[in-house]
């Protein structure tokens, strides 16, 4: 059994782009619009696999759910949400028909009977077939006559909308969607004839692929609705996805280093592998949507909207040193639909490039320059093979950080910061060992199994490598092992935790083999030394920084049926925390300092703008209105950026286009990002180079440094500050 769960994985279908042979864009039989969808039939192997999955879930899952009518109802609701969350394909009559299974899916699952699941999936595919046939017919007969001067609008937020009562109602919705797609491409500068040709090719490809569906597609869709009815991190992997998942877990990767998932008709970037080619190219971000893929520097861009995820991944994969070009719609651009083409050179994602790194930042405090050591840890890693072979130079987070701290101490730092922003987790053992560098012996994390048994995992090494003042910097993408380390440092009162509320993934998963594929199942939960779970709530910083993350979309609390936060008995007496009494004063000093700080003012104003834009759920289908809205938004974004630049004595921009490759979170870190879904393209620019061609300091780290110095003053009984080493 393979124990997982220390790294952040949250997508239903995950594909890490790694080395493989590029799939040839083989000729796919063209399906005529209106051709009936051929129903799929379940296989005997899937029936056997279903019984294996249910046995594992009912006996081994942390929640210990019962296979009854309540679970049956939850599976049906989850399945409908998975296949048609926007209520754009199925009819009200379809949903009513599916009610016959609301309280019988439990019986079907216990017998391995997949007929109800395939009945629902086949109906859905039939409706998708009808929608694509309508779009192709509309493009051929009417799209050329569309006008864009009316007051029509399109509602983009349909999750709470009622199901359509007739095909005519759906036709009107999809006509508006088609108009919006055409308008997006017009605004991107494409000619009408080229737009019709592009969309016709896109929808025809999608229609062809609907008719290429296989039984495994229906089975995987249904079984993931079953597993997600237990919790969002329990997943069924088909044999193909099992292979991709196993590749994800390897230490050395070749490709561009990105995790993808399917969202509606698009392929969306979930996260980037630290140190990977995409992260280093700095032109792809989480939440970006990939709409086209081209090979080499001048290969044709193939439209991949509506493609299966595995087919998109096959196109993006390729050998080291080759180039892939991606046409993307940036995640922060939900309404305009503008796309741009980026190039990434495929390479090996090396452990060295994901390892801990150090730097020294200078913080001016009352006219005096203080030196703060910063250790950036992108993931909790360890070379298991090297350790097993007793290699003297095997790499691990703790070994590397130990060396870096020693080097920083020789450079006479005044304090230390551990930067865990966007660190999605990794090795549990390393999280414990790293904590041990800063505390004497003692408990670090508690693990409670499904039967309620609690294991306390401890640091047994009495050595304290660094006993001086320190902070841990986190954000919403700091997850799992990062939360264990940050929580322990906070519980021991060993240092301040600063930044944003962390992700909240406090569950442990294991992999179990099946007749067809494998099951990733949640089997335990993590608890802090204090007895508080890291699940759902994450770690709450002592001092919060502004963040553009939308917690309704990103984090464990945003996931349906996530396990709840709770507490168990503390593993250590938490009464004498030396930091607690100082936090109110530290917050007051922080708030006074950032009141006039240009970067923090910019962050607050940008957050207001993001919130306003996110609240717009309808788009106009009037071309003049859309162009005007774009101009206004560009002007507002430019004004925000130039206000920040003027306050910092930097040259202003003439156009927002001068800054289109910059993103807000470079202000947080030169190599980490929060999420494009929560940023406005081109506004933030803390990594912009000034007239002397020098990089701007990281505003978040600078302020974290000031907070650390404040803490040192409050903690020092004598004048001045002396860091303990």
Q: What are the tens digits of pLDDT across the range 661-706?
A: 443 333 333 333 332 222 211 222 222 223 333 456 789 999 999 9
Residue 195 lies in a domain: yes
Tell me which residue range forms the domain holding 114. 24-233
Cβ atoms of residues 710 and 498 within 8 Å: no
Shared domain check, 507 and 365: yes
Residue 4 pLDDT > 50? no
- The mean per-residue pLDDT over the stretch 92-98 comes to 98
Annotation says 491 is catalytic: yes
Residue 439 lies in a domain: yes
Shared domain check, 302 and 261: yes
Annotation says 32 is catalytic: no
272 to each of 133, 376, 605, how far by Cα in Å? 36, 16, 27
Residue 330 lies in a domain: yes
- Give the pLDDT of residue 254: 53
Residue 493 pLDDT > 90? yes
Of the candidates 289, 358, 505, 671, the residue annotated as catalytic is 505
Buried b (16+ CB within 10 A) or exposed e, 272-296: bbbbbbbbbbbbbbbbbbbbbbbbe
Question: What is the count of structural domains for the chain?
Answer: 4
φ, ψ (nearest 5 deg) of residue 375: -115, 115
Q: What is the pLDDT of residues 362-403, one digit of tens each?
A: 999 989 999 999 999 998 988 877 788 888 888 899 999 999
Which of the residue ranges 63-67, 458-462, 490-494, 717-721 would you say has the lowest mean pLDDT?
717-721
Of the candidates 480, 482, 547, 673, the residue annotated as catalytic is 480
Judge if pTM exceeds 0.95: no
Shared domain check, 124 and 104: yes
Shared domain check, 180 and 295: no
Higher pLDDT, 495 or 613: 495
Q: Is the torsion defined by CA of 211, 162, 229, 536 positive or negative?
A: positive
Confidence tier at 655 by pLDDT (50, 70, 90)? confident
Of the candidates 491, 599, 659, 710, the residue annotated as catalytic is 491
Residue 721 lies in a domain: no
Residue 33 pLDDT > 50? yes
- Give the pLDDT of residue 249: 41
Residue 592 lies in a domain: no
Shared domain check, 402 and 427: yes
Q: What is the pLDDT of residues 329-347, one digit of tens each?
A: 887 665 556 788 999 999 8
Residue 452 lies in a domain: yes
Residue 465 lies in a domain: yes
Cβ atoms of residues 98 and 163 within 8 Å: no
Residue 131's contacts (CB-CB under 8 Å, 6 or more residues apart) are 88, 89, 170, 174
Annotation says 84 is catalytic: no
Token pair for 488: 């322990």
Shared domain check, 364 and 335: no
Token pair for 556: 């464990």
Residue after which a domain boundary falls, among 185, 202, 233? 233
Shared domain check, 363 and 345: no
Cβ atoms of residues 474 and 420 within 8 Å: yes
Q: Which H or E element spans position 92?
A: helix 92-98
- The mean per-residue pLDDT over the stretch 426-453 comes to 94
């Amino acid at each position: 059994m393979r124990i997982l769960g220390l790294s952040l994985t949250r997508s239903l279908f995950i594909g890490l782009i790694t080395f493989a042979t590029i799939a040839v864009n083989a000729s796919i039989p063209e399906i005529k619009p209106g051709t009936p969808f051929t129903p799929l039939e379940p296989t005997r192997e899937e029936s056997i696999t279903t019984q294996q999955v249910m046995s594992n879930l009912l006996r081994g899952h942390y929640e210990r759910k019962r296979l009854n009518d309540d679970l049956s109802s939850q599976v049906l609701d989850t399945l409908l949400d998975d296949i048609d969350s926007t209520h754009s394909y199925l009819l009200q009559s379809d949903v009513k028909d599916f009610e016959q299974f609301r309280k019988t899916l439990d019986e079907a699952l216990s017998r391995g009977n997949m007929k109800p699941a395939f009945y629902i999936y086949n109906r859905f595919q039939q409706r998708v077939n009808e929608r694509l046939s309508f779009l192709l017919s509309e493009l051929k007969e009417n799209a050329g006559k569309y006008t864009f001067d009316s007051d029509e609008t399109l509602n983009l937020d349909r999750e709470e909308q009622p199901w359509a009562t007739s095909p005519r109602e759906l036709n009107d919705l999809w006509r508006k969607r088609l108009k919006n797609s055409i308008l997006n491409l017009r605004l991107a500068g494409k000619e009408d004839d080229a737009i019709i040709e592009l969309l016709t090719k896109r929808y025809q490809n999608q229609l062809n692929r609907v008719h290429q569906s296989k039984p495994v597609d229906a089975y995987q869709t249904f079984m993931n609705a079953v597993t997600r009815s237990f919790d969002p991190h329990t997943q069924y992997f088909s044999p193909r996805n099992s292979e991709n998942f196993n590749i994800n877990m390897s230490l050395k990767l070749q490709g561009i280093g990105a995790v993808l998932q399917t969202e509606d008709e698009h392929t969306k970037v979930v996260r980037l592998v630290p140190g990977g080619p995409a992260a280093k190219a700095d032109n792809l971000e989480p939440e970006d949507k990939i709409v086209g893929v081209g090979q080499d520097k001048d290969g044709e861009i193939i439209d991949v909207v509506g493609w299966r995820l595995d087919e998109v991944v096959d196109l993006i994969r390729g050998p080291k040193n080759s180039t892939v070009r991606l046409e993307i719609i940036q995640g922060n651009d939900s309404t305009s639909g503008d796309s741009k083409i980026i190039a990434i050179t495929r390479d090996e994602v090396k452990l060295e490039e994901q390892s801990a790194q150090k730097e020294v930042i200078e913080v001016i405090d009352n006219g005096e320059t203080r030196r703060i050591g910063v250790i950036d840890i992108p993931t909790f890693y360890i070379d298991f093979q090297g350790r097993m072979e007793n290699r003297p130079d095997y790499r691990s987070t703790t070994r590397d950080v130990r060396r870096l701290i020693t080097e920083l101490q020789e450079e006479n730092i005044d304090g230390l910061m551990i930067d865990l922003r966007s660190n999605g987790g990794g090795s549990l053992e390393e999280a414990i060992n790293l904590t041990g560098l800063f505390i004497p012996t003692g408990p670090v994390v508690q693990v409670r199994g499904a039967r309620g048994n609690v294991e306390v995992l401890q640091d047994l090494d009495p050595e304290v490598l660094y006993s001086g003042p320190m902070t841990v910097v986190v954000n919403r993408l700091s997850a799992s092992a990062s939360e264990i380390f940050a929580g322990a440092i906070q519980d021991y009162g060993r240092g301040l935790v600063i930044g944003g509320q962390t992700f909240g993934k406090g569950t442990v998963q294991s992999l179990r083999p099946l007749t067809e594929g494998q099951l990733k199942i949640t089997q335990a939960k993590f608890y802090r030394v204090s007895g508080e779970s890291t699940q759902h709530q994450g770690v709450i910083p002592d001092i919060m920084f502004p963040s553009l993350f939308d917690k309704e979309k990103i984090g464990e609390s945003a996931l349906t049926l996530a396990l709840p936060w709770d507490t168990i008995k503390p593993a250590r007496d938490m009464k004498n925390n030396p930091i607690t009494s100082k936090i109110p004063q530290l917050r007051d000093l922080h708030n006074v300092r950032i009141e006039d700080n240009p970067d923090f003012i910019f962050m607050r104003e940008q957050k207001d703008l993001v919130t306003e834009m996110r609240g717009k759920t309808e788009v106009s289908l009037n071309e003049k209105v859309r162009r005007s809205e774009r101009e206004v938004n560009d002007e507002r974004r430019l004004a925000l950026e130039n206000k920040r630049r003027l306050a910092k004595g930097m040259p202003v921009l003439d156009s927002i286009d001068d800054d289109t490759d910059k993103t807000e979170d470079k202000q947080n870190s030169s190599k980490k990002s929060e999420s494009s879904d929560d940023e406005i393209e081109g506004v933030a620019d803390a990594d912009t180079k000034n007239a002397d061609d020098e990089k701007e300091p990281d505003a978040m780290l600078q302020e974290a440094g000031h907070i650390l110095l404040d803490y040192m003053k409050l903690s020092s009984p004598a004048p001045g500050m002396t860091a303990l080493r």
